[in-house]
C-alpha cells in the first residue's frame, strides 16, 4: 500500500530516508564512520548519500573508532550535527572515552557553556555463527551514563522519526539499531517528522499482562501476544523505543491495569535495562503486582558460534510465552 | 629583536607569561592551606609554550587543552576572574563551579575546553578542525597535550586522520620530560617525539619551548600554512614544569612522588622562560627595569582582584545539582 504521503519502507531504508532528508535540509549534518561507503558494513542505510552529498559530508574512515568518534564529538562542539556510525557495537567499545568521558560529561562539566549534540549510530549485527565479538548488545552500559540519551527503534516509522529527533537533539544520543530489524516494514511518512525521545508506545492493547519490549524483542513480543490470545491471555505490548530516559509512566499505567509485568530485552540479564525497569516498577507499583516481575533476556554468557548453541542462546517469542504462562498459571 | 617586532607585541608576550606565572603561584598558598581542593596541575615553567603558540593565533581560532591548562586558557584570552572563581568552585566560574581546574572553558575566546583524560581532547580538536574545513571558515585549531599523551592510541589515530583529511590543526606537544611521575625514557621507546609525526608525513619540529619567540615564529609559519588548507603540523616544545605534577610540589605534599633530582630542577630553573625573556629585554634595550616593575605591579594587582572576585562570589545552589546534565 502506498499513498502520496506515505509509503511502505523497510527499517533500513527508513534510516536512509532520514539521513537523506536531514542532510538535504541542514548543511551541518554529515556522516562519518567505518564503512559508510559499504553495504557490507552498514546495509543499505547509507545508500546514495555519497553520490548526493559528496566526500566532504560522507566520510568513510579507517578503523580508528576512538579518534573517529572523538572527531564527531569535536565537530558537534563546533555546532555541526555529525552522525557517527559504528557498524557493530562491539567495535564501538574502542570509543568509550569520547562517548562517556567527553560527550556525556561535556555539558555538565562546563556548566552548560558547551554541549555535544552528536548522534552515534551503533549497529547490533549478530547471529549467523558470528560469535562473541560480533554480537554484543550493550545499551545498558550507555543507559547507565548520565548525559547520554539512548534510543532503540523497533519499527521503520520509529527508525526514521527517532533518527530525526536524535539529529535535532542538543545532547549526545546513542542510536542503536538491530540488523535483525532491517527488513521490518511499515508505513513511513515521506515528510520529515519526529518521534519524541523518551516516549514509549503501546503496540497492542491487553488486560492480563504487560510486556515491555525493547528493539528486536518488540516484534517477538507482538507475536507472543498473538499466540497467547489464542489461549485467552490478553497481553499488552509496550515498545519502549527509548531506553534512556525510560518512559516509566507509560509502563506504570499499564501495570496498574494488568497487574503483571514481563520485560524483554535481547541483551544480557544482569544489570540490563530490564533490571532497571524492574526496580523502578517494583518501587512504584508494588501493591498492584500479582506476580513477581520477570525478565526475558539473554543468558549471562558471550554469544556462542556453533549453531545449536546459538539457537539456544538467542531468545524469541517462545521464551516470552513460556515465561508468561508460568506467571499466569501459578 | 627591537627591529623585528613592535615593542607592544614583545611586552604583550611578557605580560601574558607573567600573568600566567603569577596566577599559578597565587594558588600555591591556598592549595597548601586546603582552601583549594580541586587538583591543580600548575603551568609554572611552561608559560612560553602557551603564550608563543596563542600569539600566533587569531581570537577566532580554536584551542583545546588538557589537565594542565590554566596557561592555555589565559594565553588564548580566557577570562581571568572566571578561571579563578572556577578553581574556588563558584557559580561565577568559567564552568559555573561544575568543572574545577581540570575542566575550563571560554568559548568567547576560542578556548573550547580542557579535559584531563590524557590525549582525550586530541581527537576533539581534530573534530573542530574538520568542522572548520566543512564550514570553509579558515580557522585553525590547536591541540595542546603533553609527552605522556603520545603513548595513547588515539594520538596516533588522530595524526593519521588529520593528514588524510588535511585538517587545519596544529599539534603542540609540550614535552616536559615527565608523564606524571615517570621520566620519558621509561615511557617511550623513541623519546624524540617529533619523529613520530614525521612518520605521518606532516611537517614536524622540535624547538626550545622555553623561548617564547622561537615558539611564536615556528608556530606562526605552520598556522599560516594550515589556514591555506595545506594541512596539519606538529611541534614538540621542550620545556619543564617547575612545580609538581599536581599541586605545588609533589614532595611538599608529603607524597614523595617527585623523583626529579634537585640538581635537575635547579638546572631548569636557570632556563626559566620568563627570566630568559627579561634578560633578552634588557640586553636589547626593549624595556628598562622600571618598566618591568610596572608590568609586575599591574599584573599582580589583576591577580589579587581575581582572588577577591572569587572570594566574594557565591557557590552554586544545591537546588541546581542536576541542572546541566542535559541541555534543554
Residue A40: pLDDT band (50, 70, 90) is confident
Question: What is the signed CA dihedral for A294, A298, A301, A302, rounded to 10 degrees?
Answer: -160
Res. B262 pLDDT band, cuts 50 70 90: confident
What's the whole-number average pLDDT of chain B? 95
Among A105, A121, A290, A61, CA closest to B114: A105
- For B126, the closest chain A residue by CA position comes to A71
Max Cα distance, chain B (Å): 58
Which pLDDT score is estimated for B251?
62
In this complex, the residue of B95, B127, B134 whose CB is nearest that of residue A113 is: B95
Instruction: Count the Cβ atoms, other than its own, within 10 Å of residue B15.
Output: 16
The shortest CB-CB distance from A108 to any of B94, B115, B325 is to: B325
**Choice among A31-45, A54-68, B223-237 with the minimum mean pLDDT:** A31-45
In a domain, A196, yes or no: no
Query: Could you tell me if residue A194 is inside a domain?
Result: no
The set of residues, in sequence order, having a beta carbon less than 8 Å from that of A107 and lying 6+ positions away, is: A114, A115, A116, A147, A171, B324, B325, B326, B327
Average of per-residue pLDDT across B140-147: 98
Residue B183 placed within a domain: yes
For the cut 80, the answer to whether the pLDDT of residue A330 exceeds it is: no
Chain A CB within 8 Å of residue B97 CB:
yes
Which of A206-210, A217-221, B7-11, B51-55 shows the lowest mean pLDDT across its residues? Answer: B7-11
Confidence band, pLDDT 50/70/90 cuts, at residue A251 = very high
- A15 touching B (Cβ < 8 Å): no
What is residue B319's DSSP assignment?
Answer: G
Average confidence (pLDDT) over A241-261: 98
Pairwise CB contact (< 8 Å): A114 & B99: no
Same domain, A205 and A161: no
- The reply to whether B117 touches chain A by the CB within 8 Å rule is yes
Would the pLDDT of A2 be above 60? no
Residues A153 and A261 in one domain: no
- Residue B153 domain boundaries: 7-313
Q: Is residue B57 part of a domain?
A: yes
Whether B229 contacts chain A with CB within 8 A: no
Q: Kindly state whether residues A64 and A162 are assigned to the same domain.
A: yes
What pLDDT was estimated at residue B260?
Answer: 86
Q: What is the mean pLDDT of residues B84-99?
A: 98
Instruction: Please count the CA atoms within 13 angstroms of the CA of A213 that sit on its side-chain side.
Output: 31
- The verdict on A183 and A296 lying in the same domain is no
A54 part of contact set with chain B, CB < 8 Å: no
Chain A: residue whose CA lies nearest to B134: A56
DSSP strands (E only) in chain A: 6-10, 29-33, 58-60, 81-86, 119-124, 149-151, 173-178, 185-189, 201-204, 209-213, 235-239, 242-244, 261-268, 294-298
Q: Are residues A165 and A275 in the same domain?
A: no
R_g over Cα of chain A: 20
3-state secondary structure of B82: helix
pLDDT-based confidence at B287, cuts 50/70/90?
confident
Contact check, Cβ <8 Å, B128/A98 = no
pTM exceeds 0.80, yes or no = yes
* Radius of gyration, CA atoms only, chain B: 19
Q: Work out the number of other CB atoms within 10 angstroms of the CB of residue B279.
A: 11
Q: With an 8 Å Cβ cutoff, is B203 touching chain A?
A: no
Under the banding of pLDDT at 50, 70 and 90, the label for residue B255 is low
Q: What is the pLDDT of residue A188?
A: 97
A171 — pLDDT class (breaks 50, 70, 90): very high
Within-domain flag for B252: yes
My answer on whether A92 and A181 are in the same domain is yes
Measured CA to CA, the distance from residue A3 to residue B296 in angstroms comes to 76
- List strands edge to edge, sheet with A261-268: A201-204, A235-239, A209-213, A261-268, A294-298
Give me the pLDDT at residue B259, please. 76
Name the DSSP letter for residue B315: P
Same domain? For A81 and A217 the reply is no
Strand blocks (E) in chain B: 62-65, 111-114, 141-146, 169-175, 178-179, 182-183, 204-208, 233-238
Best probe of the B interface among A78, A99, A149, by most B CBs < 10 A, is A78
Task: Judge whether A107 counts as a catalytic residue.
Answer: no
Whole-number Cα distances in Å, A7 to A188, A189, A192: 5, 6, 13
**Residue B43 and residue B64: Cα distance in Å, rounded?**
15
ipTM exceeding 0.90, yes/no: yes
Contact call for A74 and B103, based on CB within 8 A:
no
Instruction: Give CA separation, B169 vs A100, B159, B217, B226, in Å.
Output: 24, 10, 17, 7
Residue A242 maps to a domain: yes
Q: What is the largest CA-CA distance in chain A?
A: 61
Which among B93, B134, B161 has the least Cβ separation from residue A67? B161
For residue B273, cis peptide bond before it (omega within 30 degrees of 0): no
* Shared-domain flag, residues A185 and A214: no
Q: What is the CATH number of the domain that holds B220?
A: 3.40.50.970
Write the CATH number for A185. Answer: 3.40.50.970
Residue B322 lies in a domain: no
A207 in the same domain as A171: no
Residue B49 has pLDDT above 70, yes or no: yes
Asked whether residue B109 is assigned to any structural domain, the reply reads yes
**Backbone torsions φ then ψ of B138, nearest 5 degrees:** 55, 35
Q: How far is A191 from chain B (nearest CA, A)?
A: 25
For residues B195 and B211, give the distance between their C-alpha atoms in angstroms, rounded to a whole number.
Answer: 21
Reply yes or no on whether the pLDDT at B286 is more than 90. Answer: no
Question: Into how many domains does chain A fold?
Answer: 2
Q: Give the residue-averaged pLDDT of B12-39.
A: 96
| Res B12: pLDDT | 96
- B1, part of any domain: no
Total count of domains within chain B: 1
Q: Which residues pair with A175 in a beta bridge?
A: A121, A151
Q: Based on the fold, state whether residues A218 and A160 are members of the same structural domain.
A: no
**pLDDT for B256:** 59
**Final residue belonging to a domain, choices A156, A189, A222:** A189
pLDDT of residue A34: 93
Say what percent of chain B tops pLDDT 90: 88
Band (A1; pLDDT cuts 50, 70, 90)? very low
Q: Which positions 289-328 of B are in contact with A (Cβ < 8 Å)?
A: 323-328
pLDDT digits over B148-194, tens only?
999 999 999 999 999 999 999 999 999 999 998 889 999 999 999 99
CA gap B175, B294 in Å, rounded: 32
Which pLDDT value is given to residue A91? 96
A247 lies in the same domain as A309:
yes
Answer whether residue B293 shows pLDDT above 80: yes
Q: Cβ–Cβ of A74/B123 closer than 8 Å?
A: yes
Q: Which of A58, A65, A70, A83 to mutate: most B Cβ within 10 Å?
A: A70
The per-residue pLDDT for B254 is 55
pLDDT at A41: 87
Question: Quick check: is A274 in a domain?
Answer: yes
pLDDT over 90 at B213, yes or no: yes
**Confidence bin at B266 (pLDDT 50/70/90):** very high
Burial of A191 (0-12, 13-18, 19+ CB in 10 A): exposed
* Average confidence (pLDDT) over A79-105: 97
Task: Write out chain A residues lying below 8 Å of B158, CB-based.
Answer: 67, 70-71
- pLDDT of residue A3 exceeding 70, the answer is no
The reply to whether A213 and A184 lie within a common domain is no
Residue ranges of A 224-263 with Cβ closer than 8 A to chain B: none
Contact yes or no for A106 and B131 at CB 8 A: no
% chain B with pLDDT above 70: 97
Q: Is there a contact between B53 and B205 (Cβ–Cβ < 8 Å)?
A: no
CATH number of the domain residue A286 falls in: 3.40.50.920
CA A64 from centroid of its chain's CA atoms: 24
Q: Which of B1-5, B20-24, B109-113 has the lowest mean pLDDT?
A: B1-5
* Residues making up chain A, counted from first to last: 330
Give the pairing type, strands A235-239 and A201-204. antiparallel
Least confident of A89-98, B247-256, B303-312: B247-256
Chain A positions touching B125 (Cβ under 8 A) are: 74
Q: Provide the 10 A C-beta neighbour count for residue A310.
A: 18
Question: Is it the case that residue B252 has pLDDT exceeding 60?
Answer: no
Q: Is A265 a catalytic residue?
A: no
**Domain span including residue A223:** 201-328
Q: Round to whole Å and give the CA distance between B296 and A81.
A: 46
Q: At a CB cut-off of 8 Å and minimum separation 6, what does A209 contact?
A: A233, A234, A235, A236, A258, A260, A261, A262, A324, A327, A328
With 0-12 CB in 10 A as exposed, 13-18 as middle and 19+ as buried, what is B100?
buried
The reported pLDDT for the residue numbered B292 is 93
Q: Give domain status of residue B41, yes or no.
A: yes
Q: Å from B10 to nearest chain A CA?
A: 32
Give the active site residue among A17, A65, A236, A265. A65
In a domain, B198, yes or no: yes
In-domain check, residue A195: no
The partner residues of A150 in beta bridges, in order of sequence, read A174, A244
A114-166 per-position pLDDT tens digit: 999 999 999 999 999 999 999 999 999 999 999 999 999 999 999 999 999 99
Confidence of residue A60 (pLDDT cuts 50, 70, 90): very high
Chain A, 132-161: which have a CB under 8 Å from a chain B CB?
Answer: 146-147, 149
Amino acid at each position: 500500500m502506498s499513498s502520496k504521503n506515505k509509503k511502505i519502507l523497510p527499517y533500513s531504508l527508513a534510516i536512509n530516508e532520514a539521513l537523506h532528508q536531514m542532510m538535504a535540509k541542514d548543511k551541518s549534518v554529515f556522516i562519518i564512520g567505518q564503512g559508510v561507503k559499504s553495504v557490507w558494513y552498514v546495509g543499505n542505510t547509507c545508500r546514495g548519500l555519497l553520490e548526493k552529498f559528496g566526500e566532504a559530508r560522507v566520510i568513510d574512515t579507517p578503523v580508528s573508532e576512538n579518534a573517529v568518534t572523538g572527531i564527531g564529538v569535536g565537530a558537534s562542539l563546533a555546532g555541526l550535527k555529525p552522525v557517527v556510525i559504528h557498524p557493530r557495537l562491539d567495535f564501538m567499545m574502542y570509543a568509550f572515552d569520547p562517548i562517556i568521558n567527553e560527550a556525556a560529561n561535556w555539558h555538565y562539566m562546563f556548566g552548560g557553556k558547551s554541549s555535544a549534540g552528536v548522534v552515534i549510530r551503533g549497529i547490533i549485527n549478530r547471529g549467523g555463527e558470528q560469535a562473541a565479538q560480533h554480537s554484543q548488545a550493550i545499551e545498558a552500559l550507555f543507559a547507565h551514563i548520565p548525559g547520554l540519551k539512548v534510543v532503540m527503534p523497533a519499527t521503520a516509522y520509529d527508525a526514521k522519526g527517532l533518527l530525526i529527533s536524535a539529529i535535532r537533539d542538543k545532547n549526545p544520543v546513542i542510536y542503536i539499531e538491530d540488523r535483525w530489524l532491517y527488513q521490518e516494514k511499515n508505513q513511513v511518512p515521506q515528510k520529515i517528522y519526529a518521534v519524541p525521545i523518551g516516549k514509549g508506545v503501546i503496540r497492542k492493547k491487553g488486560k492480563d499482562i504487560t510486556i515491555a519490549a525493547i528493539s528486536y524483542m518488540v516484534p517477538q513480543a507482538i507475536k507472543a501476544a498473538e499466540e497467547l490470545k489464542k489461549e485467552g491471555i490478553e497481553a499488552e505490548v509496550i515498545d519502549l523505543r527509548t531506553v534512556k530516559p525510560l518512559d516509566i509512566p507509560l509502563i506504570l499505567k499499564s501495570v496498574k491495569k494488568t497487574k503483571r509485568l514481563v520485560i524483554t530485552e535481547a541483551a544480557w540479564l544482569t544489570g540490563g535495562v530490564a533490571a532497571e525497569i524492574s526496580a523502578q516498577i517494583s518501587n512504584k507499583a508494588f501493591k498492584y503486582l500479582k506476580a513477581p516481575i520477570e525478565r526475558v533476556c539473554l543468558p549471562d554468557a558471550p554469544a556462542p558460534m556453533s549453531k545449536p548453541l546459538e539457537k539456544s542462546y538467542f531468545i524469541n517469542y517462545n521464551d516470552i510465552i513460556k515465561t508468561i504462562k508460568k506467571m499466569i498459571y501459578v | 629583536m627591537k627591529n623585528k617586532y613592535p615593542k607592544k607585541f614583545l611586552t604583550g608576550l611578557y605580560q601574558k607569561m607573567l600573568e600566567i606565572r603569577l596566577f599559578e603561584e597565587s594558588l600555591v598558598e591556598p592549595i597548601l592551606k586546603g582552601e583549594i581542593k580541586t587538583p591543580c596541575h600548575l603551568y609554572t615553567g611552561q608559560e612560553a609554550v602557551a603564550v608563543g603558540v596563542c600569539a600566533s593565533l587569531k581570537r577566532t581560532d580554536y584551542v583545546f587543552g588538557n589537565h594542565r591548562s590554566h596557561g592555555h586558557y589565559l594565553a588564548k584570552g580566557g577570562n581571568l576572574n572566571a578561571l579563578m572563581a572556577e578553581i574556588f568552585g563558584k557559580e561565577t566560574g568559567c564552568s559555573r563551579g561544575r568543572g574545577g581546574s581540570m575542566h575550563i572553558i571560554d568559548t568567547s575566546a576560542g578556548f573550547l575546553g580542557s579535559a584531563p583524560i590524557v590525549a582525550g581532547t586530541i581527537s576533539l580538536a581534530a573534530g573542530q578542525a574538520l568542522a572548520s574545513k566543512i564550514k570553509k571558515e579558515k580557522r585553525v585549531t590547536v591541540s595542546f597535550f603533553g609527552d605522556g599523551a603520545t603513548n595513547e592510541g588515539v594520538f596516533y589515530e588522530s595524526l593519521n586522520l588529520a593528514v588524510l583529511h588535511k585538517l587545519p590543526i596544529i599539534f603542540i606537544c609540550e614535552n616536559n620530560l615527565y608523564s606524571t611521575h615517570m621520566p620519558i625514557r621509561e615511557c617511550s621507546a623513541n623519546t624524540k617525539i617529533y619523529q613520530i609525526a614525521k612518520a605521518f608525513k606532516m611537517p614536524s619540529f622540535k624547538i626550545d619551548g622555553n623561548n617564547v619567540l622561537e615558539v611564536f615564529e615556528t608556530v606562526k609559519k605552520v598556522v599560516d600554512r594550515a589556514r591555506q588548507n595545506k594541512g596539519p603540523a606538529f611541534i614538540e616544545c621542550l620545556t619543564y614544569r617547575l612545580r609538581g605534577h599536581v599541586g605545588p610540589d609533589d614532595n611538599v605534599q608529603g607524597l614523595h612522588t617527585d623523583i626529579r633530582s634537585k640538581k635537575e630542577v635547579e638546572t631548569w630553573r636557570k632556563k626559566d622562560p620568563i627570566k630568559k625573556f627579561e634578560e633578552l629585554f634588557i640586553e636589547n634595550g626593549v624595556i628598562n627595569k622600571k618598566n618591568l616593575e610596572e608590568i609586575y605591579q599591574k599584573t599582580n594587582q589583576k591577580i589579587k582582584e581575581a582572588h577577591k572576585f572569587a572570594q566574594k562570589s557565591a557557590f552554586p545552589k544545591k537546588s541546581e545539582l542536576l541542572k546541566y546534565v542535559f541541555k534543554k
